[in-house]
Amino acid sequence: MEYVKSKIRDILDFPQKGIVFKDLTTAFKDPQALKKIGDELLQLYRDKGITKVVGIESRGFIAGSVLAYGLNAGFVPVRKPGKLPADTISMSYDKEYGKDTIEIHSDAITEDDIVVIHDDVLATGGTMAAAYNLVKSMNPKKIYVNFIVELEMLGGRAILPAEAEVTSLITY
């Protein structure tokens, strides 16, 4: 993972002043780093019986799709409001400034599914906590949670439900 870490770029003051944005596009565009991320995710989840990978818009779609393909699982997008074409269920959550909402197709997950929800970066955890609650409301057998990068200082892990098995490939 040191190689992948060396390919992640820090962007200061993006998208607003004071934020150090972990830009993973520089890792995704590097063939060896992308392969390493995919291999590592597969290693973590290959024996868990995963049937669906849920990716959070939009950076969770990239490695989430790689993982779904490798596991012979399906891929399900969680998106911002108004983007999904069929019936959806939605969840609102508090952000630093104001509220945000995410959606999933209401027929995307069944009670027979074993799910891993994936996003690129765990920051404050609000987005993943909302995605977890969305998926949980559809009663799958089990939900795992995964990130490529975890920003430990922001304490996002603490607001995720205790029963969520959270893994991150890289921590800062």
Residue number with CB closer to ligand AMP (98 or 111): 98
Is position 38 an interface residue for ligand AMP (rule: CB under 6 A)?
no
Spell out the residues 6+ positions from residue 133 whose beta carbon is closer than 8 angstroms to its own: 91
Binders of ligand AMP in range 40-79 (CB under 6 A): 56, 59
Residue number with CB closer to ligand AMP (71 or 123): 123
Stretch binding ligand AMP (CB under 6 A), from 19-27, 35-43, 75-83, 107-115? 19-27
Least Cβ distance, residue 149 to ligand AMP (angstroms): 7
**Binding string to ligand AMP for residues 134 to 163, with x set by CB under 6 A, is what?**
-----------------x----x-------
Binding site for ligand AMP (CB under 6 A): 19-22, 56, 59, 119-127, 151, 156
